Amino acid sequence: MIDFATDPSRYRHWKLTVEGDIAVLALDVQENGGLAPGYALKLNSYDLGVDIELHDAIQRLRFEQPQVGAVIVTSAKDRVFSAGANIAMLGHASHGHKVNFCKFTNETRNAMEDASHGAGPTFLAAINGTAAGGGYELALATEHLILSDDGSSAVSLPEVPLLAVLPGTGGLTRLVDKRKVRRDRADFFCTLTEGIKGKRAVEWRLVDELAPRSRLMEVARERARALVKSNTPARAASGIVLPALERSFSADVARWSHVEAKLDRGRGVADITVSAPVNDPPRSLPAIHAAGAAFWPLALARELDDAILHLRLNEPEIGIWVLRTSGSAARVAACDHLLAEHAEDWLVRETTQFLKRVFKRLDVSARSMIALIEPGTCFTGTLFELALAADRSYMLAGTRAMGPGGDNRPAPIIGLTDMNFGALPMCNGLTRLETRFLGAPEQIAASRAEIGRDIGAEAAEALGLVTFAPDDIDWDDEVRVALEERQGFSPDALTGMEANLRFAGPETLETKIFGRLSAWQNWIFQRPNAVGEAGALKLYGTGRQAQFDKSRV
């Protein structure tokens, strides 16, 4: 099992140093520290384990070190920044592992940009050697790139000429969309194995500036200090501790404090239940800070994030996620009220930003998601985002029949809060309601008018907030048919369909990256030119020449 839980005391590949309001993240990959045997992580090349540590470091900087306003990403090795994703690992990994590795890698890069563009620390790169492929893509995820001007340090994206694949974890998109590199120059750059260095790298906007090797970190710290001074809002003086998550895994159940996933392997279904707070939320901002990581919205974000990653990486044949909730809708709404009331506070702000990233991770998961809104559920506010993220939602109209196996709980209701109207945007920059009601602002207005009200099944269906609202007579059959039908379809076709439908509306840097990433992973990464016995990815480093099928399709 791949475990996404770690902490700085267990890092093997990153060195995190906090210097007041500046932090340094130095990549120092242990060659023998791969997640699996059979490859050496030479030249600061990385596998999923390296990125798991980076993801953890980003989270800890935001919550445990909120005084940090700028983070310098560099290498602890001499004359090499990073050679990118480890080729031997990619050449021997299963297709599913490659897909999930690349997706998680890009989500981690997105988290760096989310911090830089939001209220977190701004990331900058001090490139003290060769930055190739994914190594340069890591630097591209920062906001300011400083390249050592030493005659040898260079940046490159050599995947096309060397590996018969492409810079698929955002490299191409960030090159032209983010850094505004001219298309003809980008074309030349991406077919050049040795990369570009020095003044040309600056002229072509591949990096922002050069610095002598002897002054590289000095210049980086100067830029970092300037960023800290320009940062708004002001940084907090101290943070909170993110303790290890309480969780357990058995053959068919994974449990956290507020999340449970029951696995039906025969049907390929995960029944995921997210629970509301068991106690009333804090009544004041000091009480929120005193609760720290136990504050329900933050605890939920951490646990749901871990659950999504666990299911994506470790349960690839569980293709259907049934989303449920349980507990007090009033307590969920009360927590949402706190998030809105204290939105300017650093901890509340970071918690909301974390929730946003977790729901985005749900959006891009290659799983069919169906929300079931039944008696005892609490699809309210933040938790209603689960239903909005689902591909379909079913809400029981009325109550369940009494008698053996019956249910005497009241009919289910849903609720909207301010959290559904801007705080948790998707990758397309729109809320899930805006994406749902694209081109229909009157439906957004009608939904907003329902904030704070209990919405029953008939009203929810009329408002367009749920897909279907069957009564007790039809409920079991409709849900069963929906799940059985999903089981009978091609998983590949479903993945493509869902990815196309989930991101209606404007295209953004993130939606472009994930769309192109999907094409790369699910087509180019399966072509014999890359992964066949005579493919470039398989033969890299052997001295043998790849044999390409020259057909263009």
CA dihedral 182, 183, 184, 189 (to 10 degrees): 90
203 and 269, same domain (yes or no): no
Instruction: Give the pLDDT band (50/70/90) at residue 553.
Output: confident
Torsion of CA 380, 385, 386, 390, to 10 degrees: 130
Identify the CA nearest to 95 among candidates 487, 537, 542, 540.
537
Any domain includes 512: no
* DSSP H stretches of helix in 198-295: 198-203, 216-230, 285-291
The predicted-structure confidence for 75-116, as pLDDT tens digits, reads as follows 999 999 999 999 999 888 888 898 899 999 999 999 999 999
Q: Tell me the pLDDT tens digit for each residue of 232-262.
A: 677 888 999 999 999 999 999 999 999 999 9
Q: What is the pLDDT of residues 459-494, one digit of tens each?
A: 999 999 999 999 999 999 999 999 999 999 999 899
Q: What is the pLDDT of residues 184-235, one digit of tens each?
A: 999 999 999 999 999 999 999 999 999 999 999 999 999 999 999 987 677 8
Residues 208 and 263 placed together within one structural domain of the fold: no
In this prediction, residue 169 has a pLDDT band, given cuts at 50, 70 and 90, of confident
Mean pLDDT is lowest, of 11-25, 160-174, 403-417, for 403-417
Domain carrying residue 253: 247-502
Give the per-residue pLDDT at 500: 87
At 402 the pLDDT is: 67
Q: Tokens 């390249």: give the residue.
A: 147
The confidence band for 403, taking pLDDT boundaries of 50, 70 and 90, is low
Same domain? For 202 and 289 the reply is no
299 and 337 assigned to the same domain: yes
Q: Which residue has the higher pLDDT, 105 or 405?
A: 105
Cα angle 510-512-514, degrees, rounded to a multiple of 5: 70
CATH of the domain at 470: 3.90.226.10
pLDDT at 236: 85
pLDDT, residue 527, reads: 87
Contacts of 463 (CB under 8 A, 6+ apart): 443, 446, 447, 450, 455
Identify whether 537 is part of a domain.
Answer: no
From CA 267, how far away is CA 284, in angstroms rounded?
46
Number of domains comprising the chain: 2
Q: How far is CA 362 from the centre of its chain?
A: 8
pTM: 0.95
**Where is the domain boundary, 502, 524, 543?**
502
Confidence class for position 496, pLDDT limits 50, 70, 90: confident
Clarify whether residues 331 and 480 are in a common domain.
yes
Separation of CA 446 from chain center: 31
* Structural domain contains residue 34: yes
Contact 310, 245 (CB under 8 A): no
Residues 282 and 325 in one domain: yes
Taking the CA atoms of 360, 365, 369 and 375 in sequence, report the sign of the dihedral they define.
negative
- Do 34 and 148 lie in one domain? The reply is yes
The whole-number pLDDT of residue 467 equals: 98
From the centroid of its chain, how far is CA 469? 32
